[in-house]
Structure 1
Amino acid sequence: MGHWWYRNIIEPGKLPMLLALLSFVTSFLVTRVITRLIRAGRGPFKNVTPGGMHVHHVVPGVILVIVGGFGAVGSGRHGIGALASAVVFGLGAGLVLDEFALILHLDDVYWSEQGRKSVEIVVLTAALVALVLGGFLPFGVNDLTYEERQSRGLVAINAATNFFLALIALWKGKPRTALIGILVPFVALIGAVRLARPSSPYAKRFYANRPRARAKAGLRAFHHDRRWAGPRRRFQDFIGGAPDPSPPDSPPDTPPGPDVSRGSDRRH
């Protein structure tokens, strides 16, 4: 364990990335705790509303990301400056991605159903960074031996193949599989060879005239969503809090009735 820690974290200069990951996760968790307390009306925390304008925490998050990013560029990968910049960057990234859904929709959807995207993107980001810290390199280059890495052509072919598989998985409507597949090629291969999601561009292009394939893809997507939607929602609610219930659908408008006055005029 000590040898792995030194080889993958300390020796290659990955300590700043480790600190950035820890501060990123801490920033997100602390922010979620505070926002849930504010939502419940507990504790001393309140929304920041100078002059009646609600300042979302994505604003200080962007400032911290800028400071940490430029600080990291200026200080390099070693030294106290690099470590401090990594921590500042991680704190800011946690604040920014906690309101990812707000940025995406350009609306305050923090406690709505759309706000679940923020929790999902934070978990996915943390997982990808953790894989990189664990020694995984993009497009599976880490699977090659040292001698194989000396051949630029072999490295290029390996990276291009894995990149192509990740693109196919994305084309088939599997963005999570594609992102993880960038670091773990076997995952991208599974996403590339399995049936596409029914609403994906791939399905619309190749399943349009194949009713059996379209029906099979829809059935598989239905079973997958029924199996995993519940656990995923419970996990998201546990991490980020349950969204506000959606308002009930308004009743349809009543069509206008007959013009009684006009009919009454005709009777007289």
Structure 2
Amino acid sequence: MDNWWYRNIVEPGKLPLLLALLAFVVTFVATRCTTRLIRAGRGPFRDVTAGGHHVHHMVPGVVLMCVGGFGAIAAGRGWVAGATAVVFGVGAGLVLDEFALMLYLQDVYWSEQGQKSVEVVVVTAALLVVLLAGFSPLGVNDLGEDERQDRAGVITTLLGNFALVLVALLKGKLRTALFGVLVPLVALVGAVRLARPESWWAKRAYRRRPRTTARAERRAERHNARWGALERRLDDLLGGAPTAPRPDR
């Protein structure tokens, strides 16, 4: 285990990336939990205001990303690189938690549009995992031919799964993409099946295919009738229940 850790994490210089990934995920989860407590009026946490204006947490997130990013460029290697990676990961978690606000240029945190932030976080985390677990030969000494082929196979598999996760997201299948990050077969199923009628993929790929659009709509109706309530509860669990009642799909 110690040899694996050194050859795949320490020697290639991936320890800062691992620290940034952990800080990113922990910050996002902690932020979602904190905002829900604030919304429910529980605990010691309260919204931050300045001059009567609500200060969104992406503001300190941008500051931390700047500090961590420029600090990492100046630091090079050593413990400072690890520390700046943690700072950058924390800032990225705060910023991407409010990605929907930047996308729509309005406060949609507690709305169905606000759940887009969760999709962006899933894609970002999946990409970081690909980079981290890619077993890149760069920076690793004395690689044999067999080990080089093994690493190439792992990289190819991870990149392929990331592409499937991205397609599933474009087809409007957040839950499939989320589980597909962990189970590649799930991402494959989501990528090859029909897109949701309201998704980015359907609006563009099915624009001149009325029969496919009709099939997608019929499948979505059957799916919603069977699983719609459960999926809405899962969406609300991941991204927070919208303030206004969502319309039936």
TM-score by length of 1: 0.65
Deviation at 1:38, TM superposition (A): 1.6
Deviation at 1:234, TM superposition (A): 3.3
Corresponding residue of 2:5: 5
What is the rounded CA distance, in whole Å, between the counterparts of 1:128 and 1:232 in structure 2? 25
Give per-residue Cα distances to partners, 1:17-39, cap 9 Å, x unaligned: 11101111121122222222221
Name 2:142's counterpart in structure 1: none
Does the residue aligned with 1:128 lie in a helix, a strand or coil? Answer: helix
Q: CA deviation at 1:86?
A: 0.4
Instruction: Give the Cα–Cα distance (whole angstroms) in 2 for the partners of residues 125 and 232 of structure 1.
Output: 22
Deviations 1:179-214 (A, max 9, x none): 999xx9999987776555543311113x14xx3x44
Matched with 2:123 is: 124
- 1:1-268 equivalence runs, <5 A: 1-76=1-76, 78-135=77-134, 146=148, 169=167, 173=171, 195=194, 198=197, 199-205=202-208, 207-208=209-210, 211=211, 213-223=212-222, 230=229, 232-246=231-245
Partner residue of 1:252? none
Equivalent in the alignment of 1:263: none
Kept in 2, the 8 Å contact 1:128–1:180? The answer is: no
For residues 119-168 of structure 1, what are the alpha-carbon distances to aligned partners after superposition, in whole Å with 9 as ceiling and x for unaligned?
Answer: 2322332233223322277xxxxxx9847999xxxxxxx9xxx7xx87x9
Q: Which runs of 5+ in 1 are unaligned?
A: 138-143, 151-157, 249-268
CA–CA distance in 1 between the matches of 2:49 and 2:179? 39
In structure 2, give the amino acid aligned to 1:93: A
Could you report, residue by residue, the CA deviation over 1:56-85 in whole angstroms, capped at 9, with x for unpaired residues? 111110111111111122223x21221111
CA contact (8 A) 1:64 1:92 kept: yes
Contact 1:119 1:236 in 2 (8 A): no
Q: Which moved more, 1:221-230 or 1:233-242?
A: 221-230
Aligned partner letter, 1:216: R
Where structure 2 has 5 or more consecutive residues not aligned to the other structure, the ranges are 137-145
Query: Normalising to structure 2: TM-score of the pair?
Result: 0.70
CA RMSD, aligned part only? Answer: 4.2
Quote the offset at 1:114 in angstroms. 1.6
The answer to whether the 8 A contact 1:8-1:135 is kept is no
Distance 2:84 2:98 in 1: 22
Which is greater in Rg? 1
Q: Percent identity between the aligned chains?
A: 59
